[in-house]
Structure 1
Amino acid sequence: MAPLYKKALVIGATSGIGEALAAKLVSAGTSVIVTGRRQDRLDAFVSKHGSANASAVAFDITKLDQLPAVARSIVEQHPDLDCIVLNSGVQRPFDFARPQDVSLESFGDELITNYLSFVHLVTAFLPHLQRLVSSNTAGSQQAHLVFVSASLGLVPTLVRTPGYNASKAALHSWITNLRQQLKDGGYEKIRVIEVFPPAVQTELHDTKHQPDLQNGGEIGMPLAVYTDKMYEGLEKGDDQFAIGPAEPWLQEGGFEAQRQTIFEQQHPVIKAALQKFMR
């Protein structure tokens, strides 16, 4: 396999999809920077794959005020960074039919982890990516923002996790606008890629994170199978793709493909209509 990227920052790489994808990238020749809160797991990843192929930075993505400084430090140490994989996520049950049992603090934390932290991280790293693709020596240099989203952000069928579903829906809407804003701003070389996984066998569903489930780690597609499919999708180069049951939604005739077509048709119409009102 030829490397997809020169150097990738993988947000949320201490377990699950992030760790598996980071390992896959290394095996294909991409250098990686793995991040997460658990230093011991980050150290174990670097030890396993070698310091020539991997480095690690421990930080908490929910500490939004700290993210600009983290981004500056990473860019200073890794000026060749050309890909950021935004993968961190939490999923918790909330039953609003029993409002007395709903922790709005936990609900808010989920929105920060799954959505707002990504907005803050992208905002912090975009100046670097813009410089990278705009430099006179860049030539055909591209940069990549890869978002691990969720099919539940398109159709929220897992009713027990309304916070997760809403956070992924917000993320999807924002990604769609981000991609278009970068194109409109002349930064089409910054590729914005959104991946819609199915349920995958990770810590997301285990007893620690969802204590009302039993054998939750067995829910979904095996992690190795998913990782291979995601890498294959990244190789194809589409702006967005799904894995598993949601695949038809993004194919020709699927409802999400139709929605994207409507967006592409309506965006220039709305933009032109607003022009006379803009200062």
Structure 2
Amino acid sequence: MGFQYKTVLMVGATSGIGAAMADRLVHEGAKVIAVGRRQDRLDAFIQKHGSEKASSKKFDVTDQDGMDGFVTDVTTTHPDIDCLFLNSGLSIPIDLSRPSKTDMSSFHKQITTNFTALADLSVKFLPFLMARKSETSIIFLSGYSASKAALNSFVMCLRDELKESSVKIIEIWPPVVQTELHDYAGEKGRSMGMPVDEFTDKAFKGMISGVDQVTIGAVGPQEAFTELVQKRQTAFENLSTIMRAHPLI
């Protein structure tokens, strides 16, 4: 089975997992519209793959005021988008054991980039995706920090709300991956974790398998971590069943 979506809007495509996954999706036959803040890297992506397979749009996901215009522009220019891949994220170490030295601006920057902006984008793209006659999807990269854990809770809610719609919600849980996300750790940063090509290969195989939650790698033993993720999802589904029996709105 191949990747079923033909035109992917990859948000956070100029580095790390997003850049590697954008390359892989083009290789597998999809057209990819790369989104990111760095124009030189967007231009390099198009030069690498050619304008028939690759396109780009410069946008910073933290630009709340410009988000509606971005969504309108990109869906008008590319009305064939059938997959929204929300990958953007950052990692800034915060030591909560020393509250007097805690930089809460960095904390909120991560929450905005890794959670709030992605939740906003998914909701703003939904009318467009739901209007498509064929199945569409939103793919989230989550799981590697507190802000991404918040995203995971949002994803489970969104999936539950949309289970009768034509929009499939897919979530990828990555391990630590060797990318520039960890440059804060100095020279050793990019040697931490799973090689990005190995991760991309496993993620792609998971996406084409048809599951809606792809867990790759682990924090601790793989089996125990996978069991924890599955139990969390089951607990949410049980809670959702109870809440649907007693609707508040």
**Deviation digits for residues 142-166 of structure 1 (CA, Å, limit 9, x no counterpart):** 101000112x4xxxxxxxxxxxx22
Q: 1:170 — aligned with what?
A: 150
The residue type equivalent to 2:70 in the other structure is V
Q: CA deviation at 1:3?
A: 4.0
SS in 1 for 2:111: helix
Structure 1 stretches of 5 or more lacking a match? 133-137, 153-164
Give the Cα separation in 1 of the matches to 2:78 and 2:55: 10
Q: CA deviation at 1:96?
A: 1.8
Go from structure 1 to structure 2 and tell me whether the alpha carbon gap of 1:3 and 1:263 turns closer, same or farther (over 3 Å shift). closer
2:213 is matched with which residue: 223, 240, 245? 240
**Which structure 2 residues correspond to residues 268-279 of structure 1 after superposition, within 5 A?**
268-272=241-245, 274-275=246-247, 278=249
SS in 2 for 1:23: helix
| 2:172 counterpart of 1:195 | yes
Q: How many residues align?
A: 247
Aligned-pair identity in percent equals: 42
**Deviation digits for residues 83-128 of structure 1 (CA, Å, limit 9, x no counterpart):** 0110011101111222232111111111000000101111111110
1:180 is matched with which residue: 160, 170, 184? 160
Q: 2:34 — aligned with what?
A: 34
SS in 2 for 1:215: helix
Give the Cα separation in 1 of the matches to 2:218 and 2:7: 31
Give the Cα separation in 2 of the matches to 1:44 and 1:214: 25
Give the Cα separation in 2 of the matches to 1:121 and 1:75: 12
Give the Cα separation in 1 of the matches to 2:20 and 2:213: 20
> Is the CA contact (8 Å cut-off) linking 1:85 and 1:147 kept in structure 2?
yes
Structure 2 stretches of 5 or more lacking a match? none
Please say which of residues 171-180 and 98-107 is displaced more in the overlay: 98-107
Q: 2:229 — aligned with what?
A: 256
Q: CA deviation at 1:6?
A: 1.1
Q: 1:159 — aligned with what?
A: none
> Is the CA contact (8 Å cut-off) linking 1:197 and 1:242 kept in structure 2?
yes
**Which structure 2 residues correspond to residues 116-155 of structure 1 after superposition, within 5 A?**
116-132=116-132, 138=133, 141-150=134-143, 152=144
Give the Cα separation in 1 of the matches to 2:27 and 2:114: 28
| 2:206 counterpart of 1:221 | no
| 2:69 counterpart of 1:69 | yes
Please say which of residues 212-221 and 108-117 is displaced more in the overlay: 212-221
> Is the CA contact (8 Å cut-off) linking 1:94 and 1:102 kept in structure 2?
yes
> Is the CA contact (8 Å cut-off) linking 2:182 and 2:189 kept in structure 1?
yes
Give the Cα separation in 1 of the matches to 2:238 and 2:97: 40
TM normalised by structure 1 equals 0.84
> Is the CA contact (8 Å cut-off) linking 1:242 and 1:250 kept in structure 2?
no
Q: 1:162 — aligned with what?
A: none
Give the Cα separation in 1 of the matches to 2:123 and 2:111: 17
Give the Cα separation in 2 of the matches to 1:37 and 1:271: 41
Over 6 Å off, 4+ runs: none
**Which structure 2 residues correspond to residues 91-106 of structure 1 after superposition, within 5 A?**
91-106=91-106
| 2:54 counterpart of 1:54 | yes
Give the Cα separation in 2 of the matches to 1:145 and 1:222: 25
Cα-Cα RMSD:
1.6
Give the Cα separation in 2 of the matches to 1:172 and 1:34: 23
> Is the CA contact (8 Å cut-off) linking 1:196 and 1:241 kept in structure 2?
yes
Give the Cα separation in 2 of the matches to 1:76 and 1:38: 22
SS in 2 for 1:64: coil
Q: CA deviation at 1:249?
A: 5.0
Q: CA deviation at 1:258?
A: 2.1
